[in-house]
Amino acid sequence: MSILILYLPSGTPASATEYSYTLTADGHTATRHASAAAALLPDPGRTGEVVAVVPVRALSWQRVTLPQGADSSPARLRSVLEGLLEEQLLDDPAQLHFALEPGAEAGTPIWVAVCDRVWLRDCLHALEAAGRTVSRIVPEFAPGEAGTHSERELYALGVPEDAQLVLTAQGPDLAVTVLPLSAATLALATQSQAQAQADADGDHPLRVRADPAVAGMTEQLLHRPVELSTTSQRSLTAARGDWNLAQLEFSSTGRTRALRSVSSAVNSFLRAPQWRAARWALGIAVLAQIVGLNVWAMKERQSLAAKENGIRSTLQQTFPNVKVVVDAPVQMEREVAQLRQIAGSVSLRDLEPQLAAAGAALPPGRVPSQVEYAESELHLTGVTLTNEELDSANQRLRTDGFFARQQNGQVWIRAAEGNKP
């Protein structure tokens, strides 16, 4: 399994921001290391892992003792940490991210790593957008960690214009210390570290390591050779540690991993060169569907317009006196009814046929107390039918082209839809 280890930038990431990366197959030896923008970072593969390393200057370390039940939920844990660290932090605790040391237990002193919450989120989102979803976040240095067990170490990092001295592996109760690199701080650090080493066992010499950019400067200040330490080497060591800062809102739960996996797959499809042909094919297919739907809709509109024009034309040809067509079927029905009245013929919409049909369909002995005729419908008041009686009446009415229903305590009879005029 390949592991891609990324050294996070100190500032807010942008599209052109380069990440120092190390690609390894066993976690100990780098197969490749360089710097590249997020979109150009190597892919560790489907079974690979992406590990982010937080620079030493981006972290601060706090010592706290958690009360019982503080870790019952992420929200409660964060609330407890904000309360415990409020007096020790310069920034607003709500703007910071907290992570507990591995194996932390309530009631015992533990280390809490603290960093800028927005900065970390921006870094992770930038990598996710490039298809490099981070599964683990580790500190460059952590309290109590050492390259070889109990050896105390000094690291000179950075560039000559902004060099730092890092004191690490000082013991489980001492934090990682970052100081400006100078003759005074270097002398003080080597003296205190050497004394602490002698008090401990006296067998291990103090190890001083330096970035290649400040190795010469460190040797001049220290008057002794130093070991070279590259970002790639420190990243490999950090990735082998037990720390994982992906906690609270950055924790890799099953749901989070699934969402990130989906997001990574989508980003890979949208950006990866090997999917370019598929993207073109999908785009052409979507475009063809859109064009096809528009053509079909246009044909349907034309067909509907042609039918409406045909009905309108038939109405005006049959009844030239109709000058303005609003609703052709309704207007045609009215014109036909008027012609029947003029000719003296009876329509199913007239009162007489409806009264005759009602008299034949109603059960014997059911006489309405009031009869109304409005809008071509017969309304009978004082007659109430059961469902069976209504069904029986409708069976008889249908043979004559009528239909009955009960509404507002009345029986309404009208011509059936297909037999109106």
The domain limits of the chain are: 1-142+241-271, 143-230, 275-318, 346-419
SS3 381: strand
Same fold, 1-142+241-271 and 346-419: no
Q: Which amino acid is at 127?
A: L
Pick one of 3.40.30, 1.10.1740, 3.40.1340, 3.30.420 as the CATH number of 143-230: 3.30.420
CA distance 409 to 383: 8
- Rounding to the nearest 10 degrees, give the CA dihedral for residues 8, 13, 16, 21: 10
Q: Give the tokens for residue 70.
A: 């503080």
Q: What fold characterizes domain 346-419?
A: Gyrase A; domain 2 (3.30.1360)
CA distance 67 to 80: 8
pTM score > 0.75 for this model?
A: no
- The candidate with the shortest Cα–Cα distance to 136, out of 262, 256, 9, 12, is 256
Query: How does DSSP assign 198-230, residue by residue?
Result: HHHTS-SPPEEEE-HHHHHHHHHHHTS--EE--
CA distance 184 to 170: 19
| Burial class of 57 by CB neighbour count within 10 A (0 to 12, 13 to 18, 19+) | middle
pLDDT in single tens digits along all 421 residues of the chain: 789 999 999 888 888 899 999 999 888 889 999 999 998 999 888 778 999 999 999 999 999 998 888 877 888 888 899 888 888 888 888 899 999 998 888 888 999 999 999 999 999 999 999 989 999 999 999 887 544 444 568 899 999 999 999 988 666 677 888 889 988 888 887 776 666 555 555 555 678 899 999 999 999 988 889 999 999 999 999 999 889 999 888 886 445 555 555 655 665 566 667 778 888 888 899 999 999 999 999 999 999 888 888 888 887 788 788 777 778 787 777 777 777 666 655 667 777 788 888 888 888 888 888 888 887 788 888 888 888 888 888 888 888 888 888 888 888 888 877 555 4
Q: Give the tokens for residue 244.
A: 């994982």
Q: Give the tokens for residue 113.
A: 């790593």
Q: List the 227-228 sheet strands across, edge first.
A: 177-180, 162-168, 153-159, 207-210, 227-228
- Residue 93, Cβ neighbours under 10 Å: how many? 18
CATH class of 1-142+241-271: alpha beta
Q: Supply angle C-alpha 183, 189, 191, rounded to 5.
A: 100
Q: Which amino acid is at 252?
A: S
